[in-house]
């Protein structure tokens, strides 16, 4: 028998937070470990890129199916199952003997992550009334920021004192505990009685202008950010000479700044739904990327850090109001599909950002770049990211605001 919905929606929110925290810690830990993995696995920057790209591509391709499955079978079941599959994939990554098996294990990890990512926004939107939705989605962004903040120093410590394999193995106890907790506290969130089956991709959702523009703006925002996410660890390790611990500390700056800005943006989205903090946020991201691209050789870590902080502040201002507008534009029975589409936009943007950054870097820098060639490739990739951020800001400014009806949980 299904358990009744807890009196406070923040109790089941904690289960969503566990899965979100796991996925984001894993992402930020892996980024810190990429230079070490590249060396120990005997591969190139392009080979190491596949450790990230295979994961993101799999998540992107599976999100719609995961969202549809959640709408049909229940959000709790799909979220909990995804958490268990993600945990299994983490164990396989930690035991991988080489690059091909590691990439294959990352695919397994991604299958579980796709379920968690599709269900997370759907569960939160269904649990919270419209007057709290922006704050709740802002809290999700804060959890993301905490995970991203914890990942770099933890990853640096594990790589320096143990092995890069532990950046995956650390997920095992958290994943098992999180799945047990989710099964206990999440409400079933089943389809409405008489709910008819709908297409896997409900194109009618894109007739809603707020949804359409918000999805595209989210896609471009992550594409812009991830031009830097791929290349900054290599820039810090190979051009500025940082070790794993120092590199981890520098990679904390973006999520720390994001954690400061996202609660403010969520509050603004609830109190002033027609305001446009998202557009201002993407202008900050564009400025940060442009500043990093034009950073002169030999600049200080402080100069680099200030530009990193602009990326985090900008993304923190953009994400909560954009996500609240997108999910608030949907009917209750399409929250899973809409959450899947929102996550597809996010992960598709990450894939585009990484692929574009890698291609532009290789085009400008060549196969074995010296310092000048490295800077040329880095500059070209990040200026492209800045242009994407400006486009996302324009779309955010054009999207209509306004409160949406509440979606009571069942």
List domains and CATH numbers for the chain.
10-190+205-398 (1.20.1250.20)
CB 105 within 8 A of CB 96: yes
Give 139-195 as a DSSP string. Answer: HHHHHHHHHHHHHHHHHHHHHHHT-TTHHHHTHHHHHHHHHHHHHHHS---PPPTTP
Highest mean pLDDT among 79-93, 205-219, 344-358: 79-93
Q: Give the pLDDT score at 272.
A: 61
- Which residues contact residue 110 at a Cβ distance below 8 angstroms, ignoring those fewer than 6 apart? 54, 55, 56, 57, 58, 59, 62, 89
* Mean pLDDT, all residues of the chain: 78
Distance CA 379, CA 280 (A): 23
The C-alpha angle with vertex 273 and arms to 272 and 279, in degrees rounded to 5, equals 95
Distance CA 232, CA 270 (A): 34
Mark 389-409 as b/e (b = at least 16 C-beta within 10 Å): bbbbbebbeebebebbebbeb
Question: Quick count: other Cβ atoms within 10 Å of Cβ 410?
Answer: 15
Please tell me the pTM assigned to this model.
0.66
- Which residues contact residue 184 at a Cβ distance below 8 angstroms, ignoring those fewer than 6 apart? 3
Q: Give the pLDDT score at 21.
A: 81
pLDDT band at 319 (very low <50, low <70, confident <90, very high): confident
Q: Give the pLDDT score at 383.
A: 93
Highest mean pLDDT among 164-168, 186-190, 260-264, 333-337: 164-168
Q: Give the pLDDT score at 85.
A: 93
Distance CA 67, CA 79 (A): 10
pLDDT band at 39 (very low <50, low <70, confident <90, very high): confident
Q: Is residue 388's pLDDT more than 90? A: yes
pLDDT band at 171 (very low <50, low <70, confident <90, very high): confident
CB 344 within 8 A of CB 56: no
pLDDT digits (tens, 9 = 90+) for 230-284: 788 888 887 777 777 777 778 778 878 887 887 777 666 666 655 567 778 889 9
Q: Which carries the bigger pLDDT value, residue 380 or residue 143? A: 380
């Amino acid at each position: 028998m299904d358990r009744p919905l807890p009196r406070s929606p923040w109790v089941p929110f904690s289960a969503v937070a566990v899965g979100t925290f796991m996925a984001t810690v894993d992402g930020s830990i892996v980024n810190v470990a990429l230079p070490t993995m590249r060396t120990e696995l005997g591969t190139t920057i392009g080979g190491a890129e596949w450790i990230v790209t295979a994961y993101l591509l799999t998540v992107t391709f599976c999100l719609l199916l995961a969202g549809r499955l959640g709408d049909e079978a229940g959000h709790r079941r799909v979220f909990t199952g995804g958490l268990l599959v993600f945990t299994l994939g983490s164990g396989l990554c930690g035991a991988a003997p080489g690059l091909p098996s590691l990439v294959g294990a990352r695919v397994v990890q991604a299958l579980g992550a796709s379920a968690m990512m599709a269900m997370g926004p759907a569960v939160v939107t269904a649990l919270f009334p419209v007057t709290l939705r922006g704050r709740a989605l802002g809290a999700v962004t804060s959890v993301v920021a905490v995970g991203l903040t914890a990942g770099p120093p933890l990853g640096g410590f594990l790589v320096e004192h143990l092995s890069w394999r532990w950046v995956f193995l650390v997920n095992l106890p958290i994943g098992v505990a999180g799945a047990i907790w989710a099964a206990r506290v999440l409400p079933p969130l089943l389809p409405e009685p008489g709910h008819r089956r709908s297409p896997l991709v409900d194109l009618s959702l894109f007739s809603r202008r707020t949804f359409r523009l918000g999805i595209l703006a989210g896609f471009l925002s992550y594409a812009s950010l991830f031009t830097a996410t791929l290349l900054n660890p290599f820039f810090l390790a190979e051009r500025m000479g940082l070790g794993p611990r120092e590199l981890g500390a520098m990679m904390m700056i973006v999520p720390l700044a994001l954690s400061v800005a996202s609660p403010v943006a969520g509050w603004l989205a609830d109190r002033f739904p027609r305001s446009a903090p998202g557009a201002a946020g993407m202008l900050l991201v564009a400025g940060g990327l442009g500043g990093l691209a034009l950073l002169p050789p030999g600049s200080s870590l402080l100069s680099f850090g200030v530009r990193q902080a602009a990326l985090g502040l900008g993304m923190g201002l953009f994400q909560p109001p954009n996500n609240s507008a997108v999910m608030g534009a949907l009917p209750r029975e399409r929250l899973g599909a809409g959450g899947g589409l929102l996550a597809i936009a996010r992960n598709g943007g990450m894939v585009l950002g990484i692929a574009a950054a890698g291609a532009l870097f290789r085009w400008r820098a060549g196969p074995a770049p010296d310092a000048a060639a490295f800077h040329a490739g880095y500059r070209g990739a990040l200026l492209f990211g800045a242009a994407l951020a400006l486009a996302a800001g324009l779309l955010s400014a054009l999207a209509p605001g306004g409160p949406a009806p509440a979606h009571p949980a069942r």
